[in-house]
Each structure stands twice: as C-alpha cells, then as structure tokens.
Structure 1
Amino acid sequence: MGDGEGAEVTIYDVAAAAGVAASTVSRALSKPGRVSFKTAEHVRRVAAELGYRSSRIELPLSQRGTGVLAVVVADIANPVFVGVVRGAERAADQHDLTLAVVETQESEAVEQRALARLEATVDGFVLASSRLTDQAIRAVAKRRAVVVLNRTVGSVPSVVSDNGRAITQAAEHLVGLGHTSIAYLAGPEASYADGTRWRSLREAGLELDVRVVRVGPHLPTLRGGGAAAAAWQQRPTTAVIAYNDLMAIGFIQAVTAAGRRVPADVSVVGFDDIVDAEIVRPPLTTIAAPTVDMGASAVGHLVSSRRDTARPSAPDGTTGEPVLLPAWLVVRASTGPAPAPAAAGGSAARRAPAPRPTG
C-alpha cells in the first residue's frame, strides 16, 4: 500500500490485504459471477476498508454486470445449434465471460418464463430461433441487451444468414436439373425463419417459372419429416426443399420406405448442413450457413453493448441494418435430374416394388 497520506490504493493493495490474486480482485469487482459469492463479498469489504474505488465498484449492483451471457435455443437436440453455441462460447471466453445455454423446447411460453427468470442473473441474451413475438422481444431488449439470430426485429440487433439468396440458388439448381415443381416442407408455424424461407421460395418460383407448393407446418424433427412425406405423397412434386436437414432426412427415410427413390423419383434439399447430412444415404444436398460465426458475432455485439452503454439497447438507440452473413448451397447426391413426365405424380412408386396392404 502507498506510504504517503492520500496515496492512491491500487488493485494490488487490495489483493495483498485480501490474500488473493490481483486477477481475483478484478473479477470480484467487475464480474462477480466469475468468483464465488463469499470471495466477492470478502474482496468488496476489503476494498471498501482500504478506500479503494473504481468506476465499476461505484455502480449500482444492477449495472455492474454478472459476466454471464445466455444463449437461448429452441431445441438443444437439434445439431444446427451446436455451431451457434460453439461460436458464442469461444467469443465469450475471449472476453472472460461465462456462457449459459437454455432450451425452450420450441415453446413460446417456456421461452418467456426462462427469460423472466434469467434477466436478473445475466448481462444479455442471444436468442437463436426465438418463438417470441416481435413485441415480446423488444420488451426484453428494453431491460437487457439482446441479439436475435436468423430474424430481424425492429430496434433490436440481429445476425442473419442470407437465406433468401441461398433458397434462390437451390431453386436454380433444381430447375437446372429439369424440375418443374417444388414442395416446401414447412417447419414450425411460429418460426420467423420458416416464413422467410417460404416467401423466398415463392419469389424464386415466380422468377424461374416453376410451381411451388407448401406442405405443413410440421415439427422440425425426423418425425416431422416423416409426417411431411405422408402429406407430400398425396400430391407429389419432383423436388422438395425442407425447412431443415432433420426434416429432409426424415422425409428421405419415409419415401424410401414407401418405395420411392432419391433422387431418381424425387430430389431433396435440406437446410443447415448438419453433420448427419453427409452420413445419410444418399448424402443430402443442403443450404449451409456459418453458424459458428453467427454465434461469435452475436456475442461480440453483446460485449460491445456492455462497454458502450449501461442501457440494454444499441449505443445510438437503433440497430440499423442487421449483420448479414453468407449462406450457400452444398450439392450432394440427394438431388438429380427430374424424373420423366410419366414418372411424376406417383408412377415411380409403382415401378418400385411396394409392400402389399394387409388386413
């Protein structure tokens, strides 16, 4: 400690008096969530006794921050969120922050309750595939820093992939193979990304003069893909684009079991480029997005918000244009030339042996 009267007390003085490392003092005073409650209280008491002051310690507790960020995902079993969480975790670690992962089970009500419980314990949220309304998201953003992924919400920062351009690429790929009809296997009705993808496909259909239809909504799971296949077989098309890879894989499994061949009878395109897309047979043509970069970019924005202002909104009160990251088509073996006209509409299934109905 300084010897002269009025000498400034340093963080090293506090560390020596508290019997801890200087880095522990730093975390206790600026990011209490990074140390135990007992240690944080001990360091704060010693700092106060020594007369140590910093802009951080003089802030009200509600503005000091906890050093914890939360990534909220719709379904933790969905492989697409692995990249998002990985990117967010890496970025958080670089800034000495802790990342919590919360699952909402595709439920708006569960998501609302989770955010309400966590608001007091985290510095900000990354909402991946949120099922909340725009109004609900803006309400949360007034109280905590928020970044949404794959969605744009007015006055709330967002990171999105260029789904529209990627959907157009997929449609162009299919038209180039001779396809004249494409079905979109829709995901959850409350999904913003689902609506965006369907609108983009409809616009591409008009531009390319190809018929597009919507099948669904269905769950964004293997089972949901199977249900979509059952509905699709009532009015089959020569190609389908699924809401995500899990639905596409479930669709392939179901139509194959029904006697159809992929891609000889129907071409299939997924979305997300999960690990299983390369394992399934045939390997899945899909639209890939930089999910790791999306998670990292979202956390980067939250960190900037914490540094620039105590308010949870962006520094200037607005967000401007969303951060737009590229998405691209990955062509594999699940897409091929359109079947001959005589095979369309289900005759392909008659060519392949099908089980006789029983009972």
Structure 2
Amino acid sequence: MTVTIREVARRAGVAVSTASRALSGGGPVGEATAERVHAAATALGYEPNRWAASLRGGATKRIAMIVPDLRNPFFADLVKGAQARAREFGYMLFVADTDDDPREESRMVRTVSDRVDGALLCTPRTDAEHLDVLTGLAPTVLLHRTSDTTAYVISDVADGVAQAVANLTALGHRRIGYVDGPPESWSAALRRQAIAKAGERAGIEITTVAQVAARFDGGVVAGDLAIASGVTAVLAFNDIVAFGLMHRLSDRGIAVPEDISIIGFDDVAEARMSTPALTTVAQPLNLSGRRGVEMLVDLLAGRELSERALVLPAHLVVRETTAVPRPEARR
C-alpha cells in the first residue's frame, strides 16, 4: 500500500504543507522539524511523487508518444527507435494508443500536454486545422505526417511506390491492382497520389481493387476482389494488409507469386518471416522514431532546428512474393 505524505505529516506531528516543504526543500523549515519529518518518511517507507515534483519544477524529462494502433508492428518499430533515443537523452517515453479514433487522439493529447515536456504524434488521424490546435498545446514533432507549422519526419513514399511499380513492370506486369487504406487516413491519401503518378510514368493504369481497413482482416476482404479484378500483381497499403491478402489467396488456391505477385509497404519484421517472404517497400521506422526524438529534444532545449521537414529514403526490398506473370497473363 502506498504511503501518503499525509501519513508522514501525522507521524511527525506537523502540517501536511510543512512535511511537503521539508521533503522537497521548497521552503523554510526548522532543522529539528525537518529531521523529524525525514525520520517519519523513512520509518513509513514513503516515496515522493517525483512526477509531480518535476512538474512543479517545470520539466518532467518525459515525452509522450501518441500512436493509432499498437497491434500494428509499424508503430512498434517506431516506438522502439524513439524509446532507445529518448533513453540516451535521459528522457522517459510514455506511449498511448488511440484505437485509430481521432476523438480519442484529441482527448489524449489534451490530457498529457501539461504532464510531459513534449510529444511525438505518429500518423495523426485528425484534420489539418485541428492538428494545428493540438500541436500548439506542447512542443510537438509529427512522425509520418507533414505540416506547414510543425516539425515532422516522413519517408519518401512517392519514391518507394515508384520503385515498386518499376519492379513490377520490369517483370512484365501490366495489370496491376492497388489495395487502398481507409479513406480517413492521411497516409492513404498520400499513397493514392503516389500510385497514380507512378502508373502514369509507367504508361499503365493501376486499378484500385479495394479500399479496406489497414489491418489483416482488411487484406482478407480484398483477396476475393483482387482475384475478380483479373490483375496479375497487387500493391498493398501496408504489410499487414498484404499478409491478409496472401492468406485469402491461399485459401482460394491462388499461388503467390505464380498467379499473383504482391508487394507490401513498411517492411515490418514479420515481412521476413512470412511464407513466402514478402516483397515490400521499406520505411526506416526505427530511424524515424530516433530522429523524431532528436528534433523534439532540440525544440525543448530552445535550439533552432536545422530542418523542420526531414524526409528519409524508402527503398524496395525484393523477396519471394514477386515474379514474372504467367505467359497467358502477359498476353
């Protein structure tokens, strides 16, 4: 059971405010009284609330990291990078999951903004106008979301998509489909634009075969639609959707990559473990988390950022889920 400062004060025979001053050094207290308070605290095993104390001092050495869905390994990799870098700077990282709900995201940011020194917002779901309000509550860096007013770290999505499309067309694919992410997702809109431009450069039209939730079951739903569309290759919104897609194709007796090639997006750790191993566009997720912390620590220290928009390279990792289409498919 936690010992409170009220119990310490009662044992020492002093007021709570006196006990607080004696333990924190925050005001004048007689030497004998201070000794009595400290003796009472030791005897009771009292541990001060260091978080509250740091808040009174104006610095918590804590950073909040707000993510939409910790079940998605995309965010786990971001968190690992951010946590490691925060620890190196002497900060503790607190992670909150918003269940992909913009309202919960807003509530969470408002709740933690006066309890931490700064925040990392990962792929925030809220609209741009509301986002400006949230990022004004505490020093903030965005991860995988751009902004005109807030510092951010993002991957070069357009180049990654271009590499994926170029790889498929070099293999001989001309009927390429895209499994899109949820309509409310900012990153989904960015990828739609990149897909359209990449298809235009390649001289082909990339068909959107489905728009699904960015989860495994979303990919399962997309599987039947991909088969019905007649495409020979599919670009998936992310690796988790790609896994669901592969699962459904297997259930339907469709071989990957012999019948349909698949490319994911993100290069989460599981992409190397799947059977067959997933070809995917790799984003430097761990590095993104680290760079985000570095930018935030600079802001907290009052240092001028060398760049407020950091774009990290993305690259295609070719594994086992892409191959040349069957001869009849090429015809």
Q: TM-score, normalised by structure 2?
A: 0.82
Question: Structure 1's 307 and 171: CA in aligned 2 closer, same or farther, altered over 3 A?
Answer: same
| Structure 2: runs of 5 or more not aligned | 1-18, 32-53
* TM-aligned CA distance change 1:48 to 1:199, over 3 Å: farther
Indicate how the Cα distance of structure 1 residues 238 and 118 shifts in structure 2: closer, same or farther if over 3 A, else same: same
2:237 matches 1:236 = no
Q: Following the alignment from structure 2 to structure 1, what is the Cα–Cα distance between the partners of residues 239 and 320?
A: 14
Task: Compute the displacement of 1:233 (Å).
Answer: 2.5
Query: Does the alignment pair 1:80 with 2:74?
Result: yes
Query: Could you tell me which amino acid in structure 2 is paired with residue 267 of structure 1?
Result: S
Q: Does 1:277 align with 2:271?
A: yes
1:301 aligns with 2:295: yes
Q: How far apart are the structure 2 equivalents of 1:41 and 1:98?
A: 27
Aligned residue among 176, 184, 192 for 1:190 = 184
In structure 2, relative to structure 1, the CA distance for the partners of 1:43 and 1:49 (3 Å cut) is: farther
Distance 1:63 1:39 in 2: 14
Aligned to 1:324: 311
Residue correspondences, number: 291
Question: Which of residues 108, 119, 126 in structure 2 aligns to 1:125?
Answer: 119
* 1:64-103 matches, cutoff 5 A: 64-103=58-97
Instruction: Give, in angstroms, the shift of residue 276 of structure 1.
Output: 1.5
3-state SS of paired residue (2:66): strand
1:339 CA displacement:
2.2
C-alpha distance in structure 2 between counterparts of 1:206 and 1:269, whole Å: 19
Quote the residue 2:250 is aligned against.
256
Distance 1:220 1:40, change over 3 A: farther
Does structure 1 residue 42 correspond to structure 2 residue 23? yes
Cα distance between partner residues in 2 of 1:205 and 1:94: 43
1:214, CA displacement in angstroms?
Answer: 1.4
| Cα offset, 1:123, TM superposition | 1.5
Aligned-partner Cα distance in 1 for 2:170–2:140: 41
- The letter of the residue matching 2:117 is D
CA distance in 1, matches of 2:318, 2:71: 25
Q: Is the 8 A contact 1:175 1:210 kept in 2?
A: no
Which residue of the partner structure matches residue 141 of structure 1? Answer: 135
- Is the contact made by 1:244 and 1:272 (CA closer than 8 Å) also made in structure 2? yes
Q: 1:220 corresponds to which residue?
A: 214
Deviates more, 1:257-266 or 1:39-48: 39-48
1:48–1:324 distance in 2 versus 1, CA, 3 Å: farther
Cα offset, 1:42, TM superposition:
2.5
1:205 corresponds to which residue? 199
Structure 2: which amino acid aligns with 1:328?
H
Distance 1:324 1:44, change over 3 A: farther
- 1:41 to partner: Cα distance: 7.8
CA distance in 2, matches of 1:324, 1:341: 41
SS at match of 2:196: helix
- 61-70 or 190-199, larger mean C-alpha shift: 61-70
Does residue 337 (structure 1) correspond to residue 324 (structure 2)? The answer is yes
CA distance in 2: counterparts of 1:49 and 1:299, whole angstroms:
43
Note if contact 1:72-1:127 (Cα within 8 Å) is conserved in structure 2: yes
Whether the 8 Å CA contact 2:279–2:320 is kept in 1: the answer is yes
Q: Deviations over 1:237-277 (max 9, x none)?
A: 11111111110011011011112111111100001111221
Report the TM-score, using the length of structure 1 for normalisation: 0.76
Match of 1:17 in 2: none
C-alpha spacing 1:262/1:96, structure 2 compared with 1 (3 Å): same
- Structure-2 change in CA distance of 1:248 and 1:307 (3 Å): same
Task: Read off the aligned partner of 1:135 and give its amino acid letter.
Answer: E
Cα distance, 1:274–1:342 mapped onto 2, change above 3 Å: closer
Whether the 8 Å contact between 1:266 and 1:339 is mirrored in structure 2 is no
User: Which position in structure 1 is the counterpart of 2:42?
Assistant: none
Q: Secondary structure at the match of 1:308?
A: coil
**1:340–1:139 distance in 2 versus 1, CA, 3 Å:** same
Partner of 1:233, secondary structure, is helix
1:266 aligns with 2:247: no
Structure 1: gaps (5+ residues): 1-37, 51-59, 310-314, 345-359
> Offset at 1:342?
4.9
Give, in angstroms, the shift of residue 48 of structure 1.
9.7
